[in-house]
Amino acid sequence: QKEVEQNSGPLSVPEGAIASLNCTYSDRVSQSFFWYRQYSGKSPELIMSIYSNGDKEDGRFTAQLNKASQYVSLLIRDSQPSDSATYLCAVKDSGYALNFGKGTSLLVTP
């Protein structure tokens, strides 16, 4: 069973702070990693993808990957109330489908 683990939260951060979301995965051969944002009642939308160890930045978002530790994280700088959502970590191995974590609920308070 290929597992993707996330803390369900809720993670509460004040507006303007850095939100740190974490994800661990069990399958060592995993090659591709994705973060999706899902607002309540809506479908997931892609935020970031990362394929190699290190950091990848896109605007206020930074994805970090450490394959040796089987760990991927998402940092959101200058968090805004509009960032309040559930963040899904998804991991792809050599197959075709994505394995999803259950998501971390983020609440950004004004």
**Shortest distance (Å) from residue 95 CB to another protein:** 9
Q: Is 1 within 8 Å of 56 (Cβ atoms)? A: no
Strand runs labelled E in 1-110: 4-5, 11-14, 19-25, 32-38, 45-50, 54-58, 61-66, 71-76, 85-92, 98-100, 104-109
**Shortest distance (Å) from residue 23 CB to another protein:** 11
Which of 25, 101, 106, 108 contacts another protein by CB under 8 A?
101
**Shortest distance (Å) from residue 71 CB to another protein:** 18
Binding site for another protein (CB under 8 A): 4, 8, 31-32, 34, 36, 42-46, 49, 88, 90, 92, 96-98, 100-103
